[in-house]
Amino acid sequence: MNWARQVAGHGRTLVLLHGWGMEGRVFDHWLAYLTPHFRCVRYDLPGHGATPCAAGLGWEGSLAALAAMLAGEGESPLLLGWSLGGLLALGLAARRPDLLSGLILMAASPAFRRRPDWPWGVDATTLAGFAEALHVDPEGTRRRFLALQVMDDPQARLQLNAMRGWPLPDPRCLADGLVLLRDEDLRQELPPSRLPTLILHGERDRIVPAAAAQWLHAALPGSRYAGFATLGHAPFLSAPAECARILREWLA
């Protein structure tokens, strides 16, 4: 099943994948800086926005659906993934780099959960707590997760206020998304170095430590890393003009 999509702008195709508990319109504020230069295609992940949960938000099914949709865009697009969307983008780029002309990872990590050999992730107990709370209070759980994303980032917090009234994603797919964040580890399954890659990361990110993005930069020869010293988990909300400028300069 195809995911709901919205298209705006003209130019090179840029596909945008949102994070857990959000939807494609989280990028609305950023579009003003992108659409003069790009044909922006925003997908709603399963169970989020206008895409039904249907078969769920599983790893293999989601990558297969994403590959089919990208192949249907008519050209090799740029793929930008933020947070959970970044995990999916990284997985797709590792398996089907032929579908893409470039990869942009924002607040992304190859492994969101902390492991004995991976200190730059969320503690397993914290993720388990979110999963348990999701069954009791789905809306409250999403609000707490969103608040964590914009902690120490006043500008992003202002943008978040407009999103609090959005419909709650399907709790089944929210639970599936937490499983992906808990279980997927892509450190041994990375895109080839020939795929141009840009990594954007807020140094105050409370969900994905900047060290995880810096690890990706080192593991992907030829990638570019751009860090934001004063920003958190959502740089495109806090510094949309700067993020768009870096993207355009990287492509140039």
**Known catalytic residues?**
83, 205, 233
Tokens found for residue 147: 């608040």
Helices 59-71 and 84-95, axial angle in degrees (round to 10):
70
Q: Is 163 exposed, middle or buried (0-12, 13-18, 19+ CB in 10 A)?
A: middle
> Which own/partner pairs from 62-69 qualify as long-range (CB within 8 Å, at least 24 positions apart)?
62/88, 63/88, 63/91, 63/92, 63/95, 65/1, 65/2, 65/3, 66/3, 66/17, 66/92, 67/92, 67/95, 67/96, 67/99, 68/2, 69/2, 69/3, 69/5, 69/43
Contact 205, 229 (CB under 8 A): no
C-alpha of 107 from chain center: 7
Distance CA 16, CA 80 (A): 5
Distance CA 206, CA 39 (A): 31
